[in-house]
Amino acid sequence: MTEAPTKEATRQATRIDGKAEAERLRLRIGGEAARLLALHGAAPGLAVVLVGEDPASQVYVRNKGIATRAAGLVSVEHRLPVSASQADVLALVATLNADPAIDGILVQLPLPQQISAKAVIEAIDPAKDVDGFHPVNTGRLWTDGGGLVPCTPQGCMLLLAGVRERLAGLNALVVGRSSIVGKPMAALLLAADCTVTVAHSRSRDLPALARQADILVAAVGRPAMIRGDWIRPGATVIDVGVNRIDAGQGKTRLVGDVAYDEAVPVAGAITPVPGGVGPMTIACLLRNTMIAAGRRRGWGELDL
């Protein structure tokens, strides 16, 4: 006879592997890009514009270029000096809008202070706006859809679909109301028939709101702000935070907005940082470039 374990078995949340999901999505995109190349003799093109020399932005832009080429898409990078004027950036955007080989345009944010992000985003052809930040795409997102959807929220929805078959009727809490994550995330969850609450820095009793949430999306940019005892048992937790913190000995490490170790014994499923939402953001950028190419070039609606 074997003895029963003395320690009570503790349930652990499913770790949602965003890196693996993103790899699968990038493989599907690569297959589709190869098929389109054979059929039409052209590959979708993505232009990434980087203004200035912010080290984090340089890393992101380099990683985007690598992922784009690896999937068989054409990657074009434009680098402007930190002193570039708004007119310089708008002129480049106009050139890219008119270039038939370019299907997607991404202007890396943040921009130097002399340049208005709003003016630049609004200058991008909505059909090439693979960030999904143009007001036309925002409007489509909040009405009947059919536009280009912001990459990070889209990536979160794909990760959610991997762990929850039905979202209809679930309580979803989005913590954070930015234009690039919180608001579009709320729109997508609403379109998926969730009951959506958007919380922010002025919200009262955030822990109580969180405890109601079957789905909790954290997008605030405050390291480990969401504590384990805020989480509803069995909830799905999507951590969008990418916070670089001091790890001592001159090193840094990435942490999310959720206190991961506290959340794991409570949640049903949770995305880690790194290796959760971040990799899906880049895969969804490629996905949007494919979708934009399909529409612009009359190759038809691509299902990725």
- Annotated catalytic residues are 64, 108, 131
Q: Please, which residue, 36 or 102, has the CB nearer to ligand GUE?
A: 102
DSSP 8-state class, residue 127 = G
Any contact of residue 216 with ligand GUE (CB under 6 A)? no
Q: According to CB under 6 A, which one of 65, 162, 223, 274 is a site residue for ligand GUE?
A: 274
Tell which one of 68, 75, 108, 271 touches ligand GUE (CB under 6 A). Answer: 108
Binding of residue 115 to ligand GUE (CB under 6 A) = no
For the record, the structure tokens of 155 come out as 């990536």
151 binds ligand GUE (CB under 6 A): yes
Instruction: Find out whether 176 is annotated in a ligand binding site.
Output: yes
Among 68, 75, 236, 281, binds ligand GUE (CB under 6 A): 281
288 interacts with ligand GUE by CB under 6 A: no
Instruction: Provide the 3-class DSSP secondary structure of residue 61.
Output: helix
Q: Hey, which residues between 70 and 99 contact ligand GUE (CB under 6 A)?
A: none
Nearest to 272 by CA among 159, 161, 164: 159
Beta bridge partners of 175: 199, 218
CB of 131 to ligand GUE, least distance (A): 5
Cα 152 from Cα 159, distance rounded (Å):
11
Closest CA to 171 of 183, 189, 158, 153: 189
Q: 45, 60, 237, 292: which one contacts ligand GUE (CB under 6 A)?
A: 60
76 vs 69: CA distance, rounded Å: 10
Q: How far, rounded to the nearest angstrom, does the alpha carbon of residue 246 sit from its chain's CA centroid?
A: 24
If the CB atoms of residues 60 and 260 are measured against ligand GUE, the closer one turns out to be: 60
Are residues 248 and 123 in contact, defined by beta-carbon separation less than 8 angstroms?
no
Rounded CA gap, 299 and 232, in Å?
Answer: 45
Which CB sits closer to ligand GUE, 123 or 151?
Answer: 151
201 in a labelled binding site: no
Give the span between the Cα atoms of 217 and 258, in whole angstroms: 10
How does strand 215-218 pair with strand 236-239? parallel
Confirm whether residue 177 is marked as ligand binding. Answer: yes
User: Among the candidate windows 5-13, 101-109, 203-211, 221-229, which touches ligand GUE by CB under 6 A?
Assistant: 101-109
Using the minimum distance from each CB to ligand GUE, give the nearer residue, 72 or 132: 132
How far apart (Å, rounded) are the C-alpha atoms in residues 68 and 62?
10
Inter-axis angle of helices 18-40 and 55-70, nearest 10: 50
Identity of the residue, 21 or 32, whose beta carbon is nearer to ligand GUE in the bound complex: 21
Q: 46: helix, coil or strand?
A: strand
Residue 48, marked binder: no
User: In whole angstroms, how close is the CB of 277 to ligand GUE at the nearest point?
Assistant: 6
**Least distance (Å) from ligand GUE to the CB of residue 285?**
7
Radius of gyration of the chain (CA): 20
Q: Per CB under 6 A, which of residues 237..266 are in contact with ligand GUE?
A: 242, 254
Query: What are the residues binding ligand GUE (CB under 6 A)?
Result: 60, 106-109, 131, 151, 242, 254, 273-275, 278-279, 281-282
Q: Which segments are annotated as binding site?
A: 176-178, 242
Detail the residues annotated as belonging to a binding site for NADP(+): 176-178, 242
